[in-house]
Structure 1
Amino acid sequence: MLVATSVDAREPFKIFPPKLDSRKSRWDSGMAEAHQAVAFQFTITPEGIDLQLSHEALRQVYLSGLRSWKKRIVRLKNNVITGVYPASPSSWLFVVIAILATMYTRSDPSMGLIAKIQEHLPASGSMSMQCQTVVSAVLFSTLLWLSLIFTMKLCLKQLLSYHRWMFEQHGNVSTTTKVWVMLVRIFSGRQPLLYSYQGSLPNLPVPAIKDTVKRYLESVRPLKSDSEFERMTNLAKEFEDSLGSRLQWYLKLKALWASNYVSDWWEEYIYLRGRGPIMVNSNYYGMDFLYVTPTPIQAARAGNTLHAVLMYRRRLNKEEIKPSRIPGTFIPLCAAQCERIFNTTRIPGEETDTVVHWQDSEYVAVYHRGRYFRLWLYQAGRMLSPREIEYQIQRILDDPSPPAPGEEKLGAFTAGDRIPWAKARKEFFSSGVNKRSLDCIEKAAFFVTLDDDEQGMMGDDPAANVDRYAKSLLHGKCYDRWFDKSFSVVIFKNGKNGLNAEHSWADAPIVSHMWEYALATDSFQLGYNEEGHCKGDVNPSLPQPQRLTWDIPKQCQEQVAQCLAVAQPLADDIDFHVFAFRDFGKGSIKKIKMSPDGFIQLALQLAFYRDRGVFCLTYEASMTRLFREGRTETVRSCSSESCAFIKAFENGEDLEVCRRLIRNASEKHQMLYRLAMTGAGIDRHLFCLYVVSKYLGIESPFLKEALSEPWRLSTSQTPFQQLELFDFVNHPDYITCGGGFGPVADDGYGVSYSLIGEKIISFHVSSKHSCPDTDSHKFGTQIRKALHDLLQLMTINQSDAAGSEQNHSSKTQNKKEL
Structure 2
Amino acid sequence: MAEAHQAVAFQFTITPDGIDLQLSHEALRQVYLSGLRSWRKRFIRFRNSVISGVYPASPYSWLFVVIAILGTMYTRSDSSMGLISKIQEHLPVSGSLSTQGQMVVSAVLFGTLLWISLIFAMRLCLRQLLSYHRWMFELHGKISLTTKVWAVLMRLLSGREPLLYSYQSSLPHLPVPSIKDTVRRYLESVRPLMSVTEFQRMTALAAQFESSMGNRLQWYLKLKALWAANYVSDWWEEYVYLRGRSPIMVNSNYYGMDFLYVTPTPIQAARAGNTIRAFLLYRRKVNLEELKPTRVPGTVIPLCSAQCERMFNTTRIPGQETDTVQHCGDSDYVAVYHRGRYFKLGVYRAGRLLSAKELELQIQRILDDPSPPSPGEEKLGALTAGDREPWARTRKQFFSSGVNKRSLDCIEKAAFFVTLDDEEQGMMGDDPVRNLDCYAKALLHGKCYDRWFDKSFSLVVFKNGKSGLNAEHSWADAPTVAHLWENVLAVDAFQLGYDTEGHCKGAVDATLPRPHKLAWDIPPECQEQVMQSLAVAQALADDVDFHVLPFKEFGKGQIKKLRMSPDAFIQLALQLAYYRDRGMFCLTYEAAMTRLFREGRTETVRSCSNESCAFVKALDNGEAAEECRRLFCLAAEKHQNLCRLAMTGCGIDRHLFCLYVVSKYLGVESPFLKEVLSEPWRLSTSQTPVQQMELFDLVNHPEYISCGGGFGPVADDGYGVSYMIVGENMINFHISCKHSCTQTDAHRFGAHIRQALLDLLALLSTATQTQTNKKTN
Specify the TM-score bucket, using the shorter chain as the normaliser. over 0.9
The answer to whether the aligner puts 1:571 opposite 2:548 as a matched pair is no
The answer to whether the aligner puts 1:338 opposite 2:315 as a matched pair is no
In structure 2, C-alpha distance between the alignment counterparts of 1:401 and 1:108, rounded to whole Å = 80
Give 1:48 deviation, angstroms: 6.8
In structure 1, C-alpha distance between the alignment counterparts of 2:335 and 2:38, rounded to whole Å = 21
In structure 2, C-alpha distance between the alignment counterparts of 1:474 and 1:308, rounded to whole Å = 22
| Contact 1:25–1:546 (CA under 8 A) maintained in structure 2 | no
Give 1:434 deviation, angstroms: 0.3
Structure 1 residue runs of 4 or more that deviate by more than 4 Å after TM superposition: 42-51, 797-801
Normalization by structure 2: what TM-score?
A: 0.98
- Which residue number in structure 2 is paired with residue 752 of structure 1? 722
In structure 2, C-alpha distance between the alignment counterparts of 1:766 and 1:227, rounded to whole Å = 33
In structure 2, C-alpha distance between the alignment counterparts of 1:452 and 1:628, rounded to whole Å = 43
Match of 2:3 among 13, 17, 26: 26
In structure 2, C-alpha distance between the alignment counterparts of 1:602 and 1:44, rounded to whole Å = 80
Match of 2:609 among 625, 639, 643: 639
* Structure 1 letter corresponding to 2:239: Y
* Structure 2 letter corresponding to 1:361: S
Give 1:125 deviation, angstroms: 3.5
In structure 1, C-alpha distance between the alignment counterparts of 2:548 and 2:505, rounded to whole Å = 33
- Which residue number in structure 2 is paired with residue 670 of structure 1? 640
- 1:652–1:409 distance in 2 versus 1, CA, 3 Å: same
Give 1:50 deviation, angstroms: 5.5
Give 1:41 deviation, angstroms: 3.6
Give 1:538 deviation, angstroms: 2.2
- Which residue number in structure 2 is paired with residue 506 of structure 1? 476
| Contact 1:377–1:384 (CA under 8 A) maintained in structure 2 | yes
| 1:638-693 CA-partner distances (Å, limit 9, x unpaired) | 00000000111111111111111000000000000000000000000000000000
- Which residue number in structure 1 is paired with residue 179 of structure 2? 209
Match of 1:686 among 642, 656, 676: 656
Give 1:579 deviation, angstroms: 1.7
Match of 2:369 among 393, 399, 413: 399
Match of 1:119 among 85, 89, 92: 89
Please give the root-mean-square deviation of Cα atoms over the aligned residues, in Å.
1.2
Structure-to-structure mapping, 1:78-477, within 5 angstroms: 78-477=48-447
Give 1:44 deviation, angstroms: 6.2
Give 1:96 deviation, angstroms: 0.5
In structure 2, C-alpha distance between the alignment counterparts of 1:175 and 1:799, rounded to whole Å = 35
* Structure 2 letter corresponding to 1:414: T
* Structure 2 letter corresponding to 1:610: R
- Which residue number in structure 2 is paired with residue 520 of structure 1? 490
- 1:37–1:250 distance in 2 versus 1, CA, 3 Å: closer
- 1:37–1:332 distance in 2 versus 1, CA, 3 Å: closer
| Contact 1:82–1:195 (CA under 8 A) maintained in structure 2 | yes
* Structure 1 letter corresponding to 2:571: Q
Give 1:304 deviation, angstroms: 0.2
In structure 1, C-alpha distance between the alignment counterparts of 2:300 and 2:676, rounded to whole Å = 37
Runs of at least 5 residues in structure 1 that lack an aligned partner in the other structure = 1-23, 28-34, 802-818
| 1:403-437 CA-partner distances (Å, limit 9, x unpaired) | 10000000000000000000000000000000000
Give 1:537 deviation, angstroms: 2.5
Give 1:181 deviation, angstroms: 0.8
Give 1:40 deviation, angstroms: 2.6
The answer to whether the aligner puts 1:597 opposite 2:570 as a matched pair is no
| Contact 2:158–2:300 (CA under 8 A) maintained in structure 1 | no
Match of 1:550 among 517, 520, 529: 520
* Structure 1 letter corresponding to 2:100: Q
- Which residue number in structure 1 is paired with residue 703 of structure 2? 733
Q: Percent identity between the aligned chains?
A: 77
Give 1:123 deviation, angstroms: 3.9
- Which residue number in structure 1 is paired with residue 462 of structure 2? 492
| Contact 1:618–1:636 (CA under 8 A) maintained in structure 2 | yes
| 1:202-244 CA-partner distances (Å, limit 9, x unpaired) | 0000000000000000000000000100000000011111110
| Contact 2:3–2:513 (CA under 8 A) maintained in structure 1 | no
| 1:299-326 CA-partner distances (Å, limit 9, x unpaired) | 0000000000000000111101010011
Corresponding residue SS for 2:678: coil
- Which residue number in structure 1 is paired with residue 775 of structure 2? none
The answer to whether the aligner puts 1:785 opposite 2:747 as a matched pair is no
Give 1:63 deviation, angstroms: 1.5
| 1:173-221 CA-partner distances (Å, limit 9, x unpaired) | 0001111111111111111000000000000000000000000000000
| 1:550-602 CA-partner distances (Å, limit 9, x unpaired) | 00000000000110111101000001100211110011101111100000000
In structure 2, C-alpha distance between the alignment counterparts of 1:589 and 1:441, rounded to whole Å = 46
Corresponding residue SS for 2:553: coil
- Which residue number in structure 1 is paired with residue 584 of structure 2? 614
| Contact 2:217–2:662 (CA under 8 A) maintained in structure 1 | yes
- Which residue number in structure 2 is paired with residue 763 of structure 1? 733
Corresponding residue SS for 1:796: helix
In structure 1, C-alpha distance between the alignment counterparts of 2:13 and 2:441, rounded to whole Å = 59
| 1:722-754 CA-partner distances (Å, limit 9, x unpaired) | 111001100000000000000000000000000
- Which residue number in structure 2 is paired with residue 61 of structure 1? 31
| Contact 1:118–1:124 (CA under 8 A) maintained in structure 2 | no
- 1:746–1:630 distance in 2 versus 1, CA, 3 Å: same
In structure 2, C-alpha distance between the alignment counterparts of 1:798 and 1:481, rounded to whole Å = 50
| 1:254-283 CA-partner distances (Å, limit 9, x unpaired) | 001000000000000000000000000000
In structure 1, C-alpha distance between the alignment counterparts of 2:763 and 2:124, rounded to whole Å = 49
In structure 1, C-alpha distance between the alignment counterparts of 2:103 and 2:768, rounded to whole Å = 83
* Structure 2 letter corresponding to 1:493: K
Corresponding residue SS for 1:375: strand
| Contact 1:305–1:519 (CA under 8 A) maintained in structure 2 | yes
| 1:616-642 CA-partner distances (Å, limit 9, x unpaired) | 000000000000000000000000000
- Which residue number in structure 2 is paired with residue 6 of structure 1? none
* Structure 2 letter corresponding to 1:446: F
The answer to whether the aligner puts 1:582 opposite 2:559 as a matched pair is no
In structure 2, C-alpha distance between the alignment counterparts of 1:45 and 1:283, rounded to whole Å = 58
- Of residues 184-193 and 115-124 in structure 1, the stretch that sits farther from structure 2 once superposed is 115-124
In structure 1, C-alpha distance between the alignment counterparts of 2:376 and 2:206, rounded to whole Å = 54
The answer to whether the aligner puts 1:72 opposite 2:69 as a matched pair is no
Give 1:532 deviation, angstroms: 0.6
Aligned residue pairs, count: 771
In structure 2, C-alpha distance between the alignment counterparts of 1:92 and 1:800, rounded to whole Å = 64
In structure 2, C-alpha distance between the alignment counterparts of 1:149 and 1:592, rounded to whole Å = 46
- Of residues 536-545 and 614-623 in structure 1, the stretch that sits farther from structure 2 once superposed is 536-545
In structure 2, C-alpha distance between the alignment counterparts of 1:437 and 1:506, rounded to whole Å = 26
Corresponding residue SS for 1:126: coil
* Structure 1 letter corresponding to 2:721: V
In structure 1, C-alpha distance between the alignment counterparts of 2:460 and 2:11, rounded to whole Å = 42
In structure 1, C-alpha distance between the alignment counterparts of 2:128 and 2:501, rounded to whole Å = 57
- Which residue number in structure 1 is paired with residue 774 of structure 2? none
- Of residues 283-292 and 67-76 in structure 1, the stretch that sits farther from structure 2 once superposed is 67-76
In structure 2, C-alpha distance between the alignment counterparts of 1:417 and 1:641, rounded to whole Å = 41
